[in-house]
């Protein structure tokens, strides 16, 4: 087993001496995210639910994207092995989504802060038979103490990480605690091997986000939206951030000059930013309505601010052209697979490092296209809405996604084998 690094010893020592700093930081984040005050204790390892009797599989998915990528996989694994499910997340947005989309009977808790007391309370209460960490949210004390208790651990769907490159010895020690590691692509697998992971250990089934369940579609909401939009051309800007929105609004304003009936549905990544978006100068000259205020689309509406959760499926059903945010700023892009599941052509900015291989693969299939700025985005939107081969591209997007379903099955088989190889494991 690889020994922990000096940097990790320093971290463990400092956080042991001042656990209150972790608590205060967690409380500040919980309040800022609008978390339920009654659930803050979960971040200190104080459970708000009972542990069910029997085998329990714990999945930690830090935020929305990670959670969505494992919901079906986790449900299938639990059904296949007769296990209960515990999900932890770090953000309240992911917690809200978990409440809506978790498999029946699953439990959600917030991840405990990385203090000795919080971690020990969490592990003692939940006593998981297997821990599955999704992608990259690894807290040293949580990982080390889970391993010390003999919990079989898997790191699934991990991707290339710049932070691992900056702290190779610390990363190597943490990775060494995982009995199973799956990587999204060969670049991630090569990085893991460079950090001492045995060459055969990183499995590369592909990116789990490509095999996730499509977001549910509320039939009544979709019917209302279709009636409101009628035959108007519609495009969507989804998962947007502050750096994206000025470019999107500029693109829409320019496109309106050529197609005055064009409607933009703007879906911010974080709906609580609605007031910030409404205050943008570009919104002043726009006729717009806001979903969270129960305002509806009329014939005069040019922009619909869809600042709600749980309605992604209904909105993605309205347009064959979707721009994905997080790609004009420093976020590194967002999951391009959800729009493709609905047969949409995906437009994006130049900064998609988090999904570079996926976007490149989709570009090769003719279903994803990069634009450098808002001016080109406006041209691209009009081009694709009017393109004669758009139906063929939509069919190609659906076929592309159908070819990815093996990823979840391969990952599930690996997790099942790990779980059943440790029948007596419990914290």
Q: How do the domains of the chain map onto residue ranges?
A: 6-206+405-420, 219-402
Find residue 59's DSSP bridge partners: 87, 132
The set of residues, in sequence order, having a beta carbon less than 8 Å from that of 130 and lying 6+ positions away, is 57, 58, 151, 152, 153, 154, 415, 418, 419, 422, 425
Model confidence band, residue 19 (pLDDT cutoffs 50, 70, 90): confident
In order of 90, 233, 245, 302, 312, the CA distances from 263 in angstroms are 35, 6, 15, 5, 17
pLDDT tens, residue by residue, 356-396: 889 999 999 999 999 999 999 999 999 999 999 999 999 99
Q: How far is CA 354 from the centre of its chain?
A: 11
pLDDT tens profile 22-62: 999 999 999 988 899 999 999 999 999 999 999 999 999 99
Q: What percent of the chain has pLDDT over 70?
A: 99
- The CA distance from 3 to 176, in Å, is 9
Count of H helices and E strands in the chain? 18, 14
Report pLDDT digits (tens) over 144-160: 999 999 999 999 999 88
CB burial string 363-393: b at 16+ within 10 A, e below: eeeebbbbbeebebbbebbbebbeeeebeeb
Alpha helix locations (H) across 127-244?
140-148, 162-166, 168-175, 186-194, 219-229
Render pLDDT for 308-343 as a digit per residue (tens, 0 to 9).
988 999 999 999 999 999 999 999 999 899 999 999
Helix boundaries (H) for 82-167? 92-101, 116-126, 140-148, 162-166
**Residue 217 Ramachandran class (φ > 0 left, ψ -120 to 50 alpha, else beta):** beta
- Indicate the DSSP class of residue 297: -
Q: Which residues contact 246 (CB under 8 A, 6 or more apart)?
A: 280, 282, 374
Under 8 Å between Cβ of 345 and 367: yes
Distance CA 197, CA 181 (A): 9
Instruction: For residue 398, give both structure tokens.
Output: 């659906």
Contacts of 289 (CB under 8 A, 6+ apart): 295, 296, 297, 298, 301, 303, 304, 305
Collapsing DSSP to helix, strand or coil, 202 comes out as strand
Q: Which fold has domain 6-206+405-420?
A: Rossmann fold (3.40.50)
Residue 388: predicted pLDDT: 97
E-state strands within 335-387: 345-348, 368-370
Q: Is the pLDDT of residue 201 over 50?
A: yes
Judge contact between 328 and 247, C-beta under 8 A: yes
Task: Give, rounded to a whole angstrom, the gap between the first and last alpha carbons of the chain.
Answer: 20
Q: What is the mean pLDDT of the segment spanning 196-218?
A: 90
Q: How confident is the model at residue 425 (pLDDT cuts 50, 70, 90)?
A: low
State residue 96's pLDDT score.
92
**Residue 232 carries which DSSP code?**
-
- Average pLDDT score over the chain: 94
The pLDDT score that the predictor gives to residue 376 is 97
Name the nearest CA neighbour of 29 among 13, 17, 42, 18.
42
Spatial contact of 295 and 203, defined as CB atoms under 8 Å apart: no
Contact (Cβ atoms closer than 8 angstroms) between residue 329 and residue 354 = no
pLDDT, position 214: 86
Task: Provide, rounded to the nearest whole percent, the portion of the chain with pLDDT above 90.
Answer: 84
- Residue 427 in this model has a pLDDT that exceeds 50: no
Beta-carbon count within 10 A of 417 CB? 10
Q: Which residues pair with 182 in a beta bridge?
A: 203
DSSP 402: H
Phi/psi at 193 (nearest 5 deg)?
Answer: -65, -35
Q: What is the pLDDT of residues 170-186, one digit of tens each?
A: 999 999 999 999 999 99
Statement: 219-402 belongs to CATH 3.40.50.2000: yes
Task: Scan for tokens 């893991």, then name that residue.
Answer: 192
pTM for the model: 0.80
Of the candidates 217, 245, 181, 91, the one whose C-alpha atom is nearest the C-alpha of residue 414 is 181
- The pLDDT value given to residue 426: 56
Give the phi and the psi of residue 242 in degrees, each rounded to 5. Answer: -60, -35
For residue 119, give the nearest of 22, 209, 197 by alpha carbon: 22
CA distance 96 to 114: 22
Cite the DSSP H helix spans in 156-218.
Answer: 162-166, 168-175, 186-194
Same fold, 6-206+405-420 and 219-402: yes
Check if the beta carbon of residue 170 is closer than 8 Å to that of residue 6. Answer: no
The distance of Cα 199 from the centroid of its chain, to the nearest Å, equals: 28
Q: What is the pLDDT of residue 136?
A: 86
Residue positions annotated with a catalytic role = 66
């Amino acid at each position: 087993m690889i020994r922990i690094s000096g940097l990790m010893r320093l971290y463990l020592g400092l956080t042991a001496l001042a656990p209150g700093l972790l608590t205060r930081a967690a409380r500040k984040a919980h309040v800022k995210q609008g978390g339920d005050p009654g659930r803050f204790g979960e971040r200190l390892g104080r459970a708000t639910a009972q542990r069910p009797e029997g085998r329990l599989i714990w999945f930690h998915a830090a935020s929305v994207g990670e959670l969505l990528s494992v919901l079906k996989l986790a449900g299938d694994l639990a059904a296949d092995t007769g296990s209960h499910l515990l999900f932890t997340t770090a953000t309240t947005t992911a917690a809200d989504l978990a409440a809506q989309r978790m498999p029946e009977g699953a439990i959600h808790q917030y991840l405990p802060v990385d203090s000795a007391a919080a971690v020990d309370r969490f592990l003692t209460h939940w006593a998981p038979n297997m821990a599955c960490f999704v992608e990259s949210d690894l807290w040293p004390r949580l990982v080390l103490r889970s391993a010390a208790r003999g919990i079989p651990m898997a790191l699934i769907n991990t991707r290339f990480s710049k932070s691992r490159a900056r702290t190779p010895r610390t990363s190597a020690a943490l990775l060494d605690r995982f009995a199973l590691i799956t990587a999204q692509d060969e670049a991630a697998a090569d990085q893991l091997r460079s950090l001492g992971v045995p060459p055969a250990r990183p499995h590369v089934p592909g990116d789990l986000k490509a095999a996730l369940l499509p977001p549910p579609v509320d039939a009544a909401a979709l019917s209302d939206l279709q009636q409101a939009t009628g035959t108007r051309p519609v495009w969507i800007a989804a998962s947007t951030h502050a750096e994206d929105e000025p470019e999107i609004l500029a693109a829409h304003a320019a496109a309106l000059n050529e197609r005055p009936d064009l409607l933009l549905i703007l879906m911010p990544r974080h709906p609580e930013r609605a007031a910030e978006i409404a205050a943008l100068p570009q919104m002043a000259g726009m006729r717009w309505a806001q979903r969270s205020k129960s305002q509806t689309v009329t014939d005069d509406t040019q922009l619909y601010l869809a600042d709600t959760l749980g309605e992604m499926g209904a909105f993605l059903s309205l347009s064959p052209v979707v721009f994905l945010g997080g790609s004009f700023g420093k976020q590194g892009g967002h999951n391009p697979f959800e729009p493709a599941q609905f047969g949409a052509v995906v437009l994006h900015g130049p900064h998609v490092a988090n999904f570079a291989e996926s976007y490149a693969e989709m570009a090769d299939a003719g279903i994803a296209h990069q634009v450098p700025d808002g001016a080109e985005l406006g041209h691209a939107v009009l081009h694709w809405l009017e393109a004669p081969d758009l139906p063929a591209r939509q069919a190609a997007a659906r076929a592309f996604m159908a070819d990815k379903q093996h990823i979840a099955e391969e990952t599930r088989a690996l997790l099942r084998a790990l779980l059943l190889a440790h029948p007596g494991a419990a914290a």
